[in-house]
Each structure stands twice: as C-alpha cells, then as structure tokens.
Chain A
Amino acid sequence: MTNNKKIYDKGMVIIGLCIFVVVITFPFWFNLGNAAPAPEPKIADKAKAAKECVMPKAYMKVEHMQILNEWRDTVVRDAKRIFVNSSGKEFNMSLTSTCLDCHTEKAEFCDKCHDYASVSPYCWECHIDPKETK
C-alpha cells in the first residue's frame, strides 16, 4: 500500500530545495570572509575648527538631505539665499560655498557613508566638487 517514506520526483525536489537554500542564504555566502566595518567620515580641519554645523550634529546626520532639498527649492524657486538656524545664526544656502567650504573633501566626507549605504545622491549631476576638477 502507500509508502510514506518515498519522495516522488526526488531529483527535481532536491534541485528545487537546493536553489531555495542557496538563494535565501545569499547574504551569508556573498559576504564570506569579507569584513566590512562601518566607515568613519573624515571631518576636515576647517569643519573641526567651526565646531558646529548649520544644525546640531545628530540632526544633520539623519536630516541633511532634507535641509539640502529645502535649500535648493528656496533658492531656485523663491530666490532666498539666507538660512537662519535654530540659534539665530545666518548662513548662505549653498552646497558648494557653504557645505563644501568646511567639508572640503567630498570623497572623504560625503561619499564614505553614501557608498556604504548604497546611496547615490543626484546633487552631483548639477554641482561639482571643486576639488575633483583640479
């Protein structure tokens, strides 16, 4: 009568299950023997000297893209160039002449985390990194 031990189409089932396991465990074997420590963005000397960015560090860490987006819209659409931060200090809204003025090295500062987190901001489709062109 019925034999419950038998696996029908054994070859096909095993091939299918092997594909399943290989696909599911992809991240484990892809990174084998590959230590990938989190990058530490290098703060340029000028930025260190300035002590504080336009907003507090913790805020900048997670919200910088939003600030840049707002700056772009305000400058391009409303022609307003002055940003006043929470402590009343004024800044010129400019990626190239404010941000990059302190954070002089794009490759050491922006790109480090962006590359690690696989983020490719489209800032650089219009802006240039002054250092890169030299």
Chain B
Amino acid sequence: MNISYMYSLIAVIVLFLLAYVGAMLPGGEVFFGIIIPYLALIIFILGFINRVVDWARSPVPFRIPTTCGQEKSLPWIKPNSIDNPTTTGGVIIRMFLEVVFFRSLFRNTKMALQEGDKLSYEWEKWLWLFSLAFHWTFFVVIFRHLRFFTEPVPALVELVAKLDGFLQIGLPELRISGVVLLGALMFLFLRRIYIPQMRFISLASDYFPLFLIIGIAFTGILMRYFTKVDIVGVKEFTMNLVTFKPHITEGIGSIFYVHLFFVSVLLAYFPFSKLMHLGGIFMSPTRNMVNNNRFKRHINPWNYPVEVHTYEQYEDEFREKMVGVGLPVVKPLAAKTPEEPEEKE
C-alpha cells in the first residue's frame, strides 16, 4: 500500500484551491501576490545559505571521491584525469560535466535477474535522458521568465525565447521547453508509479515537488495558451515587485495567483527538501575532492596526540636482552661492544 503520492497530490490540490479562492477574497490579491512571494524569497535565500553553511561545518577528513577511472600512478600507465582527478583543474572539469550533463547518471545501469538466477546489468539511459530534459527545460523556462522581471529585456532572454518558439506553431507561439518540461515531469512521475522498486522507496517528499512543479507548468501553460491573461498587466505587477513598489494590477485573474503561489511554495519549501541538491551537488565530497591520497598525507583534524613506542625505541630498550637470547636485532650490539668489556673489567 502506497499512499505517499495521494498525500502529495491532495496537498497540491489544496494549495491550488487555497490560492484560487483566496485571491478572489478581499485582500487576497495582496496576500498571495505580495506578502507570500516576498516571504518565500526571503525563506529561500536565508534557508539556502543556512543549509550550505551547515554542510560546510561537517568535516570531511578523508579523501572519498568516487573514482571512475585509472588513478595517476606509474608514468607509463595512462591516468584518467577527469574521472579520477588528481588536480583541482580536473575536479573543476569533472564538476562542470556533472552539473551540466549529469555524467554520473549516464552510468546508470539496471540490475536484473535473467533466466532465473543470472544476474545482469542492463543499459539504462532513460532516467538520465528525462532528468536532463527536465532540468534543462526548467532552467530555460525560468530564464525566459526574466522577460517579466527586467526592463529593458536582455537580448539573450529574447534570443532564447525566439529559439524556444522557432517551430512557430500557433499563436502565441508554442514554446518547446514548456511541452518538454511537462512531458519529462510525467516520465519522472510515472517512473515512480510503475517500477515496483521505485514505488517502494518513494516518499511523499519525492512526489510533492513533482506535483508542485507539474502544477506550476500546468498553470503556466493554461495561462499562455488557453485561459489567457493580461500579459502587460502581469509584467506591470512583477516589475513593481522587483522594484520594491508592490502594487496589485487589477483583473489579472485567479489562475495567475495560483501560479505565483505554487512558485512561492516551491521556493519556501526548497531549503528544507531534497531539492537542495542544487547546492548539495557542489558540496558533495565524492565529487568535489581531489584524489591525491597516494601522494599527500591528510590528517584527521580531530586526531588527539597518540603516545607511540616505535620498534626502534623498543629495540634500544631491550637490545642486550634480545641479543642475549639470540633474537635478531636491526642495530647490532657492535656499537656497544667496546663498552661491555670495560664494564666487565
């Protein structure tokens, strides 16, 4: 029995209704349009910083990078300087490829039993493909939204919007990113529903962000292509927000406030959720560490001084006795022999 996704779905539906009805009530537009977004952004920024600083306070005394290639060793063995970086440059390249292309996810394999008990690791690229599609289109969608938050609109934003709509399907032009975003989200959701192992390990906190982002994409697409919204009025409103002169533009409609409320909830929820992998990827020791164990000594910062008694000291202490019973010694007694006859005399 798995009701995790039902809880999440109900939560998102409740949020939808809350904003939809709330924005119609007197003062609702101010609450959902001004107070909540500002609060959400403050929570997002402070929460994000707090979380990262909290991580930075955890010592990582040992080098624990995941090594995915030949380590640098003898000069005639070719090292893999990106997948097993021994320099900071290598780590930067590795991190860049990880953040931008999800390289480690590309190595994803599916483990399954074949012909009864034969273990096999199968090719599995779908997760990589769809999560890449999701993250990139989500980024493009957010980036395109800068047209509501800047005046004049930077040329790059206009260029991205133009490329995004280059199919010129219908008017307003169909934006490819919106369609791919919703499609990829559906894949990521169905994956958790249809694969039994995934369903088993999926929690409400896995479904909630998915439903929330589906809700954001859905309300956005709804406004752009179907119910329509006064776009100039919306920009007037958002520009007032970012220039700290908050003012409600009348008659924008409830769906817009639902969209805005969903985004606010996502921002406020962000620092306390798994979505923090945005900052976490840069903080993960298995990715951001140089693999130099073999040629640099790393000392545990909380090591306490240990009193040691080395073999040399031990031998010095018991050399005569050792020689006496015929045990082999590293440093022969020869150095001391001149002294012994004197003692005997």
Contact = CB atoms under 8 A, between A and B. Distances in A.
Interface of A: 1-2, 4-10, 13, 16-17, 20-21, 24-28, 30-31, 34-39, 61-63, 65-66, 68-69, 113, 116-122
Contact of B56 (A1, A8, A61): A8
A134 to B, nearest CB: 27
24 contacts: A2-B59, A4-B57, A6-B59, A8-B56, A8-B60, A13-B52, A20-B49, A24-B45, A27-B242, A30-B149, A31-B239, A31-B242, A31-B243, A38-B233, A38-B249, A63-B228, A65-B171, A65-B172, A69-B171, A116-B235, A117-B147, A118-B158, A119-B172, A120-B158
Nearest to B48: A20
A39 B52 contact: no
Contacts of B146: 26-27
B236 A38 contact: yes
Nearest to B251: A58
Q: Which 4 A-B pairs have the closest CB atoms?
A: A36-B151, A27-B149, A62-B228, A38-B236
Contacts of B170: 66, 69
Interface of B is mostly: helix
Given A8-B60, A38-B236, A69-B171, A31 B150 contact: yes
Nearest to B304: A1
Contact of A16 (B52, B151, B233): B52
B57 A8 contact: yes
B304 to A, nearest CB: 8
B232 interface: yes
Nearest to A20: B48
A17 B55 CA distance: 12
A47 B147 CA distance: 30
A84 B232 CA distance: 28
B171 A16 contact: no
B150 A6 contact: no
B334 interface: no
Contacts of A122: 168
